[in-house]
Amino acid sequence: MNDDILLEPMKAYKTVYKQAVNDEACKFFDDLVEKSGIDVEANRQTIKELRKTEKQANEVNKKIRSLKTGKSFSIFGIVVGFIAFIVAIFLCFQPDTNLAIAIPVALAGIALAIGLIFLIVKNLNPKIKNQTAIYNKLVSKIKELSDLAYSQMSPLNALYDWNMATTI
């Protein structure tokens, strides 16, 4: 066996040393956890709740982005409606314009613009405000959970030093 270690170091690493290093590192880390006195299960629960809250925050953020996209398209529609209204009104005062087309286009343009303004003011803005408030609460909760998780692990983190790799 001793000749194999010298002649084939990769084989020796794979068959002997890899598992030995892994076992020693696990033992070393378990000793650190025991010395630190941290509650591993409490930290797991905190991290589980943190991940759940982060997922909820991401979902709410997606809703906010989609609402803001809808608001942007509505603003574009308002501009188009007002342009259609202005062009149609301008055409109404031209001598050779068909009023049967110009007046309905003007009415449709102004109706579109007013309807979209109403949609933004009464529907989209309150929803965006509500979702933003929910998102801000979730972000605050994420910060609290993150701080809690860090404080739960601080006794263990205090035991780490730069020479650990050589100790293991």
CB atoms within 10 A of CB 53: 19
Cα dist. 114→79, 84, 108 in Å?
11, 13, 10
Straight-line distance from the first to the last Cα atom of the chain, in angstroms, rounded to the nearest whole number: 24
Across the chain, mean pLDDT equals: 90
Instruction: From 61, 62, 65, 46, select the one nearest 142 (Cα to Cα).
Output: 46
- Locate 26 and state its tokens: 């696990």
Whole-number Å distance between alpha carbons of 60 and 71: 16
CB atoms within 10 A of CB 78: 19
Query: Residue 158 pLDDT more than 90?
Result: no
For position 48, what pLDDT does the model report?
97
List pLDDT tens digits, range 43-88. Answer: 999 999 999 999 999 999 999 999 999 999 999 999 999 999 999 9
Q: Position of tokens 């909820």?
A: 56
Residues of the chain with pLDDT > 90, as a percent, come to 61
Residue 26: phi, psi to the nearest 5?
A: -65, -45
* Residues belonging to the chain: 168
Whole-number Å distance between alpha carbons of 36 and 148: 16
Q: Position of tokens 């905190």?
A: 46
DSSP character string of 19-35: HHHHHHHHHHHHHHHHH
Whole-number Å distance between alpha carbons of 3 and 127: 74
